[in-house]
């Protein structure tokens, strides 16, 4: 009951903040449809045997207040995974602290709910709190370090998944990012920015994992402007798996996204 009251309070605060700004600012956001050659989520291969997935989503910025909400649906492109398909609902707040300092900190905090629509919420629904920090001015040459802490737990205290595996625990993600600008090759194609990333992950027991460094992920992606607020965003990722209770295989996958900003 207390959790529901807290959630209701958060929703009310979001609504009040949004309405207060509605007269001056516009509602904005991004609609996204992503194809994944594999769905690798926090190290796990969620659709076994490397099955692909489609993930439509929407991310809404409440009138440039820092508050936002996103909804993502993940669906396997093959049959047999109906009980493993989920919706992820997220409420968040993001802002920048110490904006004029070398240690300027971009931060994002929020709450997420993982719902399996084809199963009872007592079977496997999950919740999480998260906090992400990044320091865009701290390192030379444009390298951006980041840190994310995530705490997950079952949505219900009597959740059936807890009878199979201990769900609750922390995930810690230590990252580095760098934007590499590639000059134009021909006049018709402008310069392109490649987003390079490297993330080292420590899983402190989430979903029954041994407490250990679980995996390392390298990524490269870019945004190709198609005009009219539309962009095509391809990405390539490689995961070096270090903990068999998360994944006993190294993984390589491709993401192809079509994004529309409004």
Assign residue 159 the CATH number of its domain: 2.40.160.40
Local confidence pLDDT in tens for the 262 residues of the chain: 455 445 545 555 555 554 555 556 789 999 999 999 999 999 999 998 779 999 999 999 999 999 999 999 999 998 877 777 899 999 999 999 999 999 999 999 999 999 988 776 567 799 999 999 999 999 989 999 999 999 999 988 777 676 667 889 999 999 999 999 998 766 666 789 999 999 999 999 998 898 999 999 999 999 999 999 999 999 999 999 999 999 999 999 999 999 999 9
Q: Measured between alpha carbons, how far is 219 from 225 in angstroms, rounded to an integer?
A: 20
pLDDT of residue 50: 79
pTM for this prediction: 0.87
Tell me the CA distances in angstroms from 111 to 114, 179, 187, one per residue in order.
10, 28, 45
Give how many domains the chain has, as a whole number. 1
What domain range includes position 78?
2-261
């Amino acid at each position: 009951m207390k959790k529901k009251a807290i959630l209701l309070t958060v929703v009310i605060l979001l609504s009040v903040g949004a309405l207060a700004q509605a007269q001056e600012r516009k509602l904005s956001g991004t609609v996204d449809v992503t194809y994944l050659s594999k769905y690798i989520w926090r190290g796990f291969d969620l659709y076994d045997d490397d099955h692909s997935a489609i993930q439509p989503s929407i991310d809404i910025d409440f009138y440039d207040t820092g508050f936002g909400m996103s909804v993502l649906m993940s669906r396997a492109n093959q049959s047999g995974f109906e009980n493993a398909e989920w919706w992820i609902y997220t409420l968040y707040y993001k802002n920048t602290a110490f904006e004029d300092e070398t240690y300027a900190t971009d931060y994002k905090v929020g709450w997420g709910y993982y719902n399996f629509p084809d199963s009872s919420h007592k079977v496997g629904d999950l919740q999480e709190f998260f906090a992400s920090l990044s320091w865009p001015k701290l390192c030379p040459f444009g390298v951006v370090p980041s840190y994310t802490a995530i705490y997950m737990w079952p949505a219900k205290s009597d959740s059936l998944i807890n009878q199979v595996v201990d769900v609750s625990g922390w995930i810690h993600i230590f990252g580095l990012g760098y934007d590499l600008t590639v000059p134009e090759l021909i006049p018709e194609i402008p310069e392109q920015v490649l987003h390079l990333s490297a993330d080292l992950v420590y899983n402190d027991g989430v979903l029954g994992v041994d407490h250990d460094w679980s995996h390392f992920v390298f990524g490269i992606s870019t945004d190709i402007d198609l005009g009219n607020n539309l962009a095509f965003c391809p990405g390539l990722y490689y995961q070096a798996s270090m903990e068999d209770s998360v994944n006993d295989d190294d993984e390589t996958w491709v993401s192809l996204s079509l994004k529309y900003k409004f």
